[in-house]
Amino acid sequence: AQTVTQSQPEMSVQEAETVTLSCTYDTSESDYYLFWYKQPPSRQMILVIRQEAYKQQNATENRFSVNFQKAAKSFSLKISDSQLGDAAMYFCAYRTPWGSGAGSYQLTFGKGTKLSVIP
Amino acid sequence: KAGVTQTPRYLIKTRGQQVTLSCSPISGHRSVSWYQQTPGQGLQFLFEYFSETQRNKGNFPGRFSGRQFSNSRSEMNVSTLELGDSALYLCASSSGLAGGGETQYFGPGTRLLVL
């Protein structure tokens, strides 16, 4: 079974600084997708960024970028120029395409990292 | 486009009762997935429906069931409620077509408290 591990339950960052959240996963699949979701206190899950496993280039969305190391099964999220609105729970998630086998298409989440932003 | 909506937002039930939660996906989306979020277990996949058919199911007891209607709206039912069923229930919609990289859009969730 696929597992996703986020080893940092809590992290803090000064406003305008950079922070990196860690995520590792375990899978025997070759075709899969990785996601970072943000869940602010309102509890609404919002997609931050996604990465296709077959793409070597790391995904970037404005201030958010990932460091995807497929061989190491590592998928970290870097937030640059941190803002107060970035404070939230961040979840790393994994998914295989529909039809790829048991557990396909469902999102498997890590336990999350609570990020605090210090003014 | 309107986002994913879930009703009700909050529910209080007692042990042994049953509950039905509703999820309306984004217009045009045919896949609806349900997740349970608790402090202890985190986010766990319940099941996914696509075009009125359950395509995938997580490791939850048979007390948890669901269905999807022809307009893609989905309902989740929990029978014989237990204290441990207290959780935030999230639904997510997507087109559900081939590929796993498409975005799943989440609703605001239904918070269920079982007393």
Share of chain B above pLDDT 70, in %: 97
Round the CA-based radius of gyration of chain A to a whole number and report it. Answer: 14
Q: Is the pLDDT of residue B103 over 90?
A: no
pLDDT, tens digit, 9 for 90 and up, residues A30-86: 889 999 999 998 888 999 999 998 888 999 999 999 999 999 999 999 999 999 999
Q: How confident is the model at residue A28 (pLDDT cuts 50, 70, 90)?
A: confident
Interface contact B100-A110, CB threshold 8 A: no
pLDDT of residue B79: 95
Distance from CA of A104 to the nearest CA of B (A): 8
Among residues A30, A44, A50, A56, which one has the least CA distance to residue A88? Answer: A44
Interface contact A106-B103, CB threshold 8 A: no
**B33/A contact by beta carbon, under 8 A:** yes
Chain B residue with minimum CA distance to A36: B103
| CA separation for the pair A50, A109 (Å, rounded) | 13
Strand A10-14 relative to strand A113-118: parallel, antiparallel, unpaired?
Answer: parallel
pLDDT of residue A74: 96
pLDDT of residue A2: 81
Interface contact A96-B48, CB threshold 8 A: no
User: Chain-wide mean pLDDT for chain A?
Assistant: 92
**B63/A contact by beta carbon, under 8 A:** no
| CA separation for the pair B3, A108 (Å, rounded) | 22
